[in-house]
Amino acid sequence: MALGLDAAADDPIGALTVTRAGFAGAAEPARAGLPTALVQEGGYLCAALPETLTAFLAAFDAAR
């Protein structure tokens, strides 16, 4: 699963509008219980990154 956090609505450079709830919803396939590799994409830091990543990882952990 590739996780491109630059799609976040509050990313200052991006033009996409994925909310934190949207990133949390992206973790839903984890409910299948299959082995999963997470790949963090991107190469710059912005203030929204930690909150967005935390929202996804918390949902992923809860789904497993």
> Which amino acid makes up residue 26?
A
φ, ψ (nearest 5 deg) of residue 12 = -70, -15
At 33-50, the pLDDT tens digits run: 999 998 877 657 888 889
Q: Are 11 and 55 in contact (CB under 8 A)?
A: no
**Residues in Cβ contact with 50 at an 8 Å cutoff, skipping those fewer than 6 apart:** none
What CA–CA distance (Å, rounded) separates 24 from 58?
Answer: 8
pLDDT tens digits, the chain, 64 residues: what are they?
A: 788 888 899 888 888 999 999 999 999 999 999 999 988 776 578 888 899 999 999 999 999 8
